[in-house]
């Protein structure tokens, strides 16, 4: 297969960040505060957040889901992009991390657009399906424990309308999924998940090498 992509050196990465990237001050400060946490590696890259914001704006998203909120950077990107008519359901289990998210949602003026549910995400998503909310959402972002990725994906896909999109983070897993000698639990789980989506006839698929790898699955 012919490859003509530019190697993303540090110099090119700095250039892209300088001229192809905009980050509101509230997002910058949230990112910088999160960088001081021991779990900072769980934060999505700002470039990824901007891409998701662009997709949400382009798709006219008004109802969205998030599985795995952490300190709220991705949810804030989505909520800001949706505008005041938008509604976002966030699923997480960690009170400490999401308390940071709540603080920045409030400061950014989007707290009234976000419903944070502190409970196991599969319970929340399946409960939404039980309430006949299937097919009513426009966008979903998955960035949580990897062992449940398939379950999150299936529930999110059922909740999306045709033409809605699921975005899934960490699909490259620091390159480990491409290492045939790495069979650690999360690596194999993500490798199998990627193969599942590759052959899923219900979606149009694009895997984007941004951040730790972002898969975009458009529901047909």
Residue 8 has what pLDDT? 80
pLDDT at residue 4 tops 80: no
| Arithmetic mean of pLDDT, 23-42 | 97
pLDDT tens-digit series, residues 100-147: 999 999 999 999 999 999 999 999 999 999 999 999 999 999 999 999
Q: Is residue 83 within 8 Å of 113, Cβ to Cβ?
A: no
Q: How many CA atoms lie within 13 A of 64 on its CB side?
A: 36
pLDDT band at 88, cuts 50/70/90? very high
CA gap 171, 184 in Å, rounded: 14
| Arithmetic mean of pLDDT, 40-69 | 97
As given in the structure block, the two tokens for residue 198 are 């590759």
pLDDT band at 1, cuts 50/70/90? low
Question: Could you give the percent of the chain with pLDDT greater than 70?
Answer: 98
Model pTM? 0.96
Residue among 138, 162, 160, 152 at smallest CA distance from 193: 152
Residue 2 has what pLDDT? 52
| Arithmetic mean of pLDDT, 150-162 | 98
Contacts of 200 (CB under 8 A, 6+ apart): 217
User: Helices marked H in the chain — which ranges?
Assistant: 10-19, 25-34, 46-58, 73-82, 95-108, 121-130, 149-159, 185-198
Average pLDDT, the chain: 96
């Amino acid at each position: 297969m012919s490859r003509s992509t530019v190697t993303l050196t540090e110099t090119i990465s700095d250039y892209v960040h300088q001229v192809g990237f905009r980050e509101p001050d509230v997002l910058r400060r949230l990112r910088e505060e999160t960088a001081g946490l021991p779990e900072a590696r769980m934060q999505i890259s700002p470039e990824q957040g901007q891409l998701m914001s662009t997709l949400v704006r382009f798709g006219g998203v008004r109802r969205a889901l998030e599985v795995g909120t952490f300190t709220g950077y991705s949810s804030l990107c989505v909520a800001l992009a949706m505008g005041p008519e938008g509604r976002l359901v966030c699923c997480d289990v960690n009170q400490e991390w999401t308390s940071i998210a709540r603080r920045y949602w409030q400061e950014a003026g989007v707290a009234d657009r976000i419903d944070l549910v502190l409970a196991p995400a599969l319970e929340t998503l399946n409960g939404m399906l039980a309430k006949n909310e299937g097919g009513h959402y426009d966008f979903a972002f998955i960035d949580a424990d990897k062992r449940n990725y398939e379950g999150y994906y299936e529930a999110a896909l059922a909740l999306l309308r045709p033409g809605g999109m699921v975005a899934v983070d960490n699909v490259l897993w620091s390159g480990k999924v491409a290492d045939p000698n790495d069979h650690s639990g999360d690596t194999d789980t993500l490798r199998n998940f990627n193969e599942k989506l590759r052959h899923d006839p219900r979606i149009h698929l694009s895997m984007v090498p941004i951040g730790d790898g972002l898969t975009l699955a458009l529901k047909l």
